[in-house]
Amino acid sequence: MERFDMQLMGIALAVLFLATLGLMHWRDRNALRAERGKLFDACLALFEQHRLTQDAVAWPALAGRYGGHEVHIEPLVDDVAFRKVPSLWLLVTVKRTLPMPGAIDLLARAQNTEFYSPADGLPVRVTTPHAWPRPITIKADRPAAELPLAVLDPHVKRFFADPRAKEMLVTRHGVRMVYQAHAADRGDYLVLRRAVFREARLPAALVKSVLDQAMHVCTDMMKGGVHGQA
């Protein structure tokens, strides 16, 4: 009987231990979700309307209207490159129908690990204009003579002058800019190989700046201009 009681006690302790672990895991997940959910708190007033979506403990994405146009902002963690501190990229998209015959993608400091970029699917490699910041890789679906390089010239020079600017994509559906919002904590990554972004928040000035630049590209594309080399 005593042995049976000991077995029951052991089972009860095991169940209690597993329940405690489950509770801790649930608590930690909720805390992580809540912390990541604050990413856009400081910039929501910028938008005429907005909707936040967040799956489980993922970073939230924002869809809304800015300057009268539909926009989408998606945070994305890039921890693919080995021995490189992970980045939290912002994929900032202004959705607007543009008089653009195809697609052109400009990618800074290409590492061939940019899984979020459509560059690999574009067949034409375009020579980077001499006056543009380097290194920028240009891919498109048509020759340079058919691309609005002259229209894009001032926007490329301004956006990629910032070392945190990563990509500019222009298609008939609008403009997307990719920008580094945060770098992961170096200590956590080097020791534990974890991508930890402590108290990550998006300053309103940063979000406004990237959105405005994308909007200006759209505006100049709508006005049209001389196509060809910048």
Whether 136 and 29 map to the same domain: the answer is: no
Give the amino acid at 17. Answer: F
Residue 12: predicted pLDDT: 62
202 is a domain residue: yes
> ∠ CA 178-31-187 to the nearest 5 degrees?
60
Does the structure show a pLDDT above 70 at 218?
A: yes
Whether 54 and 2 map to the same domain: the answer is: no
The pLDDT-based confidence of 81 (bands split at 50, 70, 90) is low
Query: Across-strand partners of 90?
Result: 75, 179
Whether 92 and 66 map to the same domain: the answer is: yes
C-alpha to C-alpha distance for 146 and 143, rounded to whole angstroms: 6
Number of domains in the chain: 2
pLDDT, greater one: 173 or 10 = 173
Whether 142 and 110 map to the same domain: the answer is: yes
Does the structure show a pLDDT above 50 at 228?
A: no
The pLDDT-based confidence of 152 (bands split at 50, 70, 90) is very high
228 is a domain residue: no
Query: Which domain does 27 fall in, by range?
Result: 1-36
Count of CB atoms situated within 10 Å of the CB of 163: 10
**Following CA atoms 61, 86, 116, 217 in sequence, which dihedral angle do they give, to the nearest 10 degrees?**
70
Whether 84 and 30 map to the same domain: the answer is: no
